Amino acid sequence: MCEWCYKHGAGKKWYLNSRNYLQETAEEVGAHEYIFELWKNFEKVYLQKIYGISARGPGYKFSWPIVGKYIKKYINSWFSKEKPLKGRNPRRAEGHPGQVVPLEDGKKILELAEPILKVNCACRHMTRGIEDPCCLAFGALAEMVPKLPRYIPDGGVEPLHVDEAQDFIEEMNLSGRVNTVWFGPVPYIAALCSCEYPECAATRIRMDYGLNALLKGEYVAKVDFSKCDGCQTCVSRCQFGALTFADSTNRPFIDAWRCYGCGLCATSCPQGAIQMIDRTSYPTLVEEW
């Protein structure tokens, strides 16, 4: 399990701990005020400059042997910041990390969250200037959405029943979107997003620059070669560069180190030849999040 599971999972995955969705938890960490400031200033969070470096393009400065390492460590400390509970700065996304989750875990999350609203994706609005209602807001975030009109879909605020929300993320999965679940702030859980690289800001800065706003999932994909018929359906589904196809064996190869555990390859396989297994079942991946 990742560090959040040990700290906030109550013996299970952090995002399956029902306490992390309670109104009481939201009030303890000042979630309403935090969420309003974070989402109101979303572009400033990801486009601000730290030591003269914009998160939009840190470029060569991150490669400096000493300075680059220090700056990266400093920025990463923002996402994991837990204390003081009500003193975290939402304009720096302090205490606002997320994690990749596969479809089945996404459905379990929706059984714990309420109310559930479909909202416009903050990342896609920032990167492409489009309104795409592909994210789900819970609890405190759902309550703050009326004060953040740009995140309200054209058709208005759309509350979803659990079954409807589960069907929705299944549709997102079929279209190639990756599910990510988000603290807002730690340990309160505020959203389940369905976005993709490169639009997802957290995925982009993690993959391109090693900034850990987004953790890899609790699982990695593994191929059962006895079931695989080499159809290559899975190949185009991986956004993380973890899956390649070997012509010599007519089988896919999954690099467990690069796998984020989204499960898109597994859900697309017509033969059911790809399973999602616990990341920690690989000794070398126990600390690879």
For the chain, what is the domain count? Answer: 2
Mean per-residue pLDDT over the chain, rounded: 90
Least confident of 36-45, 140-149, 239-248: 36-45
| Interval 73-98: pLDDT, tens | 888 999 989 988 888 999 889 999 99
Residue 57 confidence class, pLDDT cut points 50, 70, 90: low
Q: Given a cut of 80, is residue 70 above it in pLDDT?
A: yes
Secondary structure E strands in the chain? 49-50, 53-54, 98-101, 116-119, 135-138, 158-159, 178-183, 189-195, 214-215, 219-223, 243-246, 251-254, 274-278
Residue type, 284: T
Q: Which domain holds residue 275?
A: 219-285
Same domain, 259 and 172: no
How far apart, in whole angstroms, are the C-alpha atoms of residue 72 and residue 58?
A: 10
Look up residue 101 and give its two tokens: 């989750």
Residue 50 pLDDT greater than 60, yes or no: no
What are the residues facing 181 on neighbouring strands? Answer: 99, 192
- Same domain for 229 and 173: no
Confidence of residue 226 (pLDDT cuts 50, 70, 90): very high
Domain holding 268: CATH number?
Answer: 3.30.70.20
| Run of H or E residues at 266 | helix 264-268
What are the Cα distances from residue 285, in Å, to 98, 203, 222, 274? Answer: 19, 19, 14, 19
Range from 69-83, 94-108, 154-168, 185-199 carrying the lowest mean pLDDT: 69-83
Examine the pLDDT at 43 and tell me if it is beyond 80.
no
DSSP secondary structure string for all residues of 26-47: HHHTTHHHHHHHHHHTHHHHHH
239 and 233 Cβ atoms separated by less than 8 Å:
no
Let me know: does 132 contact 150? Beta carbons within 8 Å: no
> What mean pLDDT do residues 162-185 have?
97
One domain, residues 22 and 101:
yes
Say what the pLDDT of residue 51 is: 44
In this prediction the pTM is: 0.92
CA distance 128 to 189: 26
